């Protein structure tokens, strides 16, 4: 009886955590084990588009080579609920980007979070927690 209680309570807990999920697609294409960190990346474009806004940035690696990165984030309505707008990032902004890179190894991925020069942090709705989980705690859902 006690074992059954633990199992059912675990199921209930999982349901409670996962129930707010609502999005365009999942994250199977990305390596969610550890985010890639792009320190001092320069924003080249913030495309506030559907189905997902795109953050485009140039990142200079240790050898001085410039990598052109593109990452997607949660939908515009979901992102607005946690403070994002079409002007949250501007071309020329120097920031540190955390991104779950695609398993293809190309410089594309799912956005995790951005750290601005003044230390301010903004996160993705669905994969913005440091462990890749939701960061919006179900706001609005």
Contacts (Cβ under 8 Å, ≥6 apart) of 52: 24, 72, 73, 74, 75
- Asked if 52 touches another protein (CB under 8 A), the answer is yes
Q: Which of 41, 78, 89, 95 binds another protein (CB under 8 A)?
A: 78
**In this chain, which stretch among 57-65, 68-76, 90-98, 116-124 interacts with another protein, using CB under 8 A?**
68-76
We find the least distance from the C-beta atom of residue 88 to another protein, in angstroms, to be 16
Residue 124's closest CA among 79, 88, 83? 79
Q: Classify strands 108-115 and 54-60 as parallel, antiparallel or unpaired.
A: unpaired
- Asked if 85 touches another protein (CB under 8 A), the answer is no
We find the least distance from the C-beta atom of residue 116 to another protein, in angstroms, to be 19
Other Cβ atoms less than 10 A from the Cβ of 101: the count is 20
Alpha-helix residue ranges (DSSP H) falling in 19-120: 76-81
Instruction: Report CA 14 to chain centroid distance, whole Å.
Output: 21
- Asked if 128 touches another protein (CB under 8 A), the answer is no
- Asked if 11 touches another protein (CB under 8 A), the answer is yes
Contact set with another protein (CB under 8 A): 8-9, 11-13, 15-16, 18-26, 28-30, 47, 49-52, 54, 56, 70-72, 76-78, 81-82, 102-104, 106, 108-109, 136-141
């Amino acid at each position: 009886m006690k074992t059954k209680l633990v199992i059912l309570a675990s199921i209930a807990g999982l349901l409670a955590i996962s129930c707010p999920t609502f999005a365009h697609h999942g994250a199977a294409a990305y390596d969610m084990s550890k985010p890639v960190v792009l320190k001092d990346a320069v924003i080249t474009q913030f495309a506030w588009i559907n189905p997902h806004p795109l953050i485009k940035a140039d990142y200079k690696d240790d050898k001085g080579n410039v990598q052109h990165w593109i990452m997607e984030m949660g939908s515009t309505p979901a992102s607005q609920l946690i403070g994002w707008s079409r002007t949250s990032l501007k071309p020329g902004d120097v920031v540190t980007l955390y991104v779950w890179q695609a398993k293809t190894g190309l410089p594309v991925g799912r956005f995790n979070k951005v750290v601005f020069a003044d230390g301010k942090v903004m996160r993705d709705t669905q994969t913005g927690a440091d462990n890749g989980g939701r960061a919006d705690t179900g706001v609005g859902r």
